Amino acid sequence: MKKSPPVPLITPDGKRCDGRAFDELRPIELEVGVLKNADGSAMIRQGKNIIVAAVYGPRELHPKHLALPDRAVLRCRYHMAPFSVYGERKSPAPTRREIELSKVIREALEPAIFLELFPRCAIDVYIEVLQADGGTRCASIVAASLALADAGIPLRDLVAAVAVGKVQGHIVLDINHLEDEYGEGDMPVAMMPTRGVITLFQADGVWTPDEIKYALELARKGIMKIYELQKEALRKKYEKVIEEVEVGV
């Protein structure tokens, strides 16, 4: 049996614990090219989440016996910093959850990448959660997708993601830490927005068919908003590059 939340998850005036409406995203800031030593990088601030993603490659795969003759190998490492979580400090060693989410994020990104263009190579994605506040797998996918684009990796589309939750019987968009911990269910969804292709769909808790249908539509609307922010972040980065080149000329 779950403990009672420290604050009401739904207030008497029909708002969530952080003041948002049921269909409202947390404030999101995206920045591309934050790490000079990576081939591509991005940072996302989503609510209290702060996550950095770095991409290296395509590059020669070592050990070579792991290489595939017809496509690149995508490798993802999701890691939460010891100071990123609420309460007790997290161990710096990889946990089972981090290993699982590394796999989940890789599988959400793979359909968007033209891996067949880089046989016998590796593309490495490193994700570091500096501050966690719920929905980190989806925020990590958003940042990693931008980092892949920043690295010049050919993509069919960007991948955007958001988690829908079930809180006191209400379906809500973009759940935070309290809603994730004390709610009745969560549903992370990732998509290639312009193609309308879902690359990640998970669900925890009990959902009726009508709730699933409504949650997917709510997730799609949130994903389209995030997708616009992704494109704007890339646009800002390369407008800055153009300005620097013109000044140098």
Cα 190 to Cα 202: distance, rounded to the nearest angstrom: 9
| Joined tokens for residue 61 | 């795969």
Q: How many CB atoms are located within 10 Å of the residue 11 CB?
A: 11
Q: How many CB atoms are located within 10 Å of the residue 162 CB?
A: 30
Per-residue pLDDT of the chain (249 residues; tens, 9 = 90+): 567 888 889 998 989 999 999 999 999 999 999 999 999 999 999 999 999 999 999 999 988 999 999 999 999 999 999 999 877 788 888 899 999 999 999 999 999 999 999 999 999 999 999 999 999 999 999 999 999 999 999 999 999 999 999 999 999 999 999 999 999 999 999 999 999 999 999 999 999 999 999 999 999 999 999 999 999 999 998 888 888 787 765
Q: Provide the pLDDT for residue 248.
A: 66
pTM for the whole structure: 0.94
| CATH architecture designation of domain 28-248 | 2-Layer Sandwich (3.30)
| Contact of 108 with 141, CB cutoff 8 Å | yes
Residue in the structure block whose two tokens are 């003759």: 69
Domain regions of the chain by residue span: 28-248
Find the angle CA(82)-CA(83)-CA(88) to the nearest 5 degrees: 80
| Contact of 52 with 43, CB cutoff 8 Å | yes
- Nearest Cα to 192, choosing from 127, 247, 148? 148
Find the angle CA(21)-CA(1)-CA(101) to the nearest 5 degrees: 65
| Contact of 143 with 43, CB cutoff 8 Å | yes
